[in-house]
Amino acid sequence: MYRDHTKEVRIGDRIIGGGNPITVQSMTNTKTEDFEATIAQIRKLEDAGCEIIRSTVPTMEAAEAFAKIKKQINIPIVADIHFDYRLAIAAMEYGADAIRINPGNIGSIDRIKAVVDVAKERSIPIRVGVNSGSLEKEIVRKYGRVTAEGLVESALDKVKIIEDLGYDNMVISIKSSDVLMCVRAHELIAEQTTYPLHVGITEAGTVFSGTIKSSVGLGMILGQGIGDTIRVSLTGDPVEEVRVGKRILQTLGLRRGHIEVVSCPTCGRTQIDLISLANNVERLVENIPLEIKVAVMGCVVNGPGEAAEADIGVCGGKGEGLIIKHGKVIRKVPESELLGALEDELLNWR
């Protein structure tokens, strides 16, 4: 597979590429200058399972905040830089574990070299990022429009600039809000480079539409063995980005050691509040380290059979429900106690 042959890149205490487990990233949406708010958000993201975080650096005060933020978090932090090469240098000096730049908007080769020299001195990886919305005019003219081929050409041109400056500690990111274009671009670039790839559908949309677009796009890319680290981009709480990212990896069998929840779609026979129960069960199991299947079923038609096929299941009745474990009914409890009974069984699993 492609990802088994990408080169390893160390970001803080995480290694991406080389067949290592795919990491889930997110980005803070606080003002980085407000380091207390940024730290609080990163801690929530850590609790949700975020493994690498990125924060924007639009000002020197934001770069300086990295020194305080680094002391209070437990995951690597990447500085997101645009336009001002001095901010990239400052962010690295104040503790960034990696930087994200588009060399095309940093400026002259001397300014790019100044950034690369500091990264090289400190062994800090550079994520070379190219988005379809910022593709160079000459490349758009060459292909007649924004294309996957143009994205790849632009990214590899930027990579070569840094390679020519004597540095190859890089991760590549090529993103588009067009799912099929993004998929095609990753297929093309995976054939042409061994740098690890940061995968995502940019500007995917709200939690609802963005989750669908990201799941389809990342599923198609990761399913081909392409991609070493991911970020789901959503207009909403970044914690949701992490939850969706983890679930995509789990669904593709790329992350193990989790509880899989299956639930019925409900129908007129359902006699308990199954929708609330299923949502609560899904959140309950997120941080319970078991590799089992939990079924949440709403009625007596298919419920007992489906629950029996899972390791443990809940089967609703009229204002009450059964807890079925390893195919056998072990408890019958009122509806109000179903979630607590299930939690008790999971926390004391054997």
Q: Is residue 225 within 8 Å of residue 199, measured between CB atoms?
A: no
What structural domains does the chain harbor?
2-251 (3.20.20.20), 260-347 (3.30.413.10)
Other C-beta atoms lying within 10 Å of the C-beta of residue 98: 26
- Give yes or no for a contact between 122 and 113, defined as CB atoms under 8 angstroms apart: no
Handedness of CA 59, 52, 174, 19 (dihedral sign): positive
Q: What is the pLDDT along the chain (350 residues), one digit of tens a residue?
A: 678 889 999 999 999 999 999 999 999 999 999 999 999 999 999 999 999 999 999 999 999 999 999 999 999 999 999 889 999 999 999 999 999 988 878 888 999 999 999 999 999 999 998 888 778 888 889 888 989 999 999 999 999 999 999 999 999 999 888 999 999 999 999 999 999 999 999 887 888 999 999 999 999 999 999 999 999 999 989 999 999 999 999 999 898 878 888 888 877 777 788 888 889 888 888 888 888 899 888 776 666 666 677 899 888 878 888 888 888 888 888 988 888 888 888 988 87
Q: Which residues neighbour 260 within 8 Å (Cβ) at sequence distance 6 or greater?
A: 250, 292, 293, 294
Report the 10 Å Cβ neighbour count for 206: 12
C-alpha to C-alpha distance for 322 and 299, rounded to whole angstroms: 10
- Strand-pairing partners, residue 42, are none
CA distance to 252, 272, 285, 310, 314, per residue, from 293 (Å): 15, 21, 10, 5, 12
For residues 292 and 349, what is the distance between their CA atoms, to the nearest angstrom? 10
Evaluate whether 52 touches 116 at the Cβ level (below 8 Å). no
Q: Are 20 and 10 in contact (CB under 8 A)?
A: no
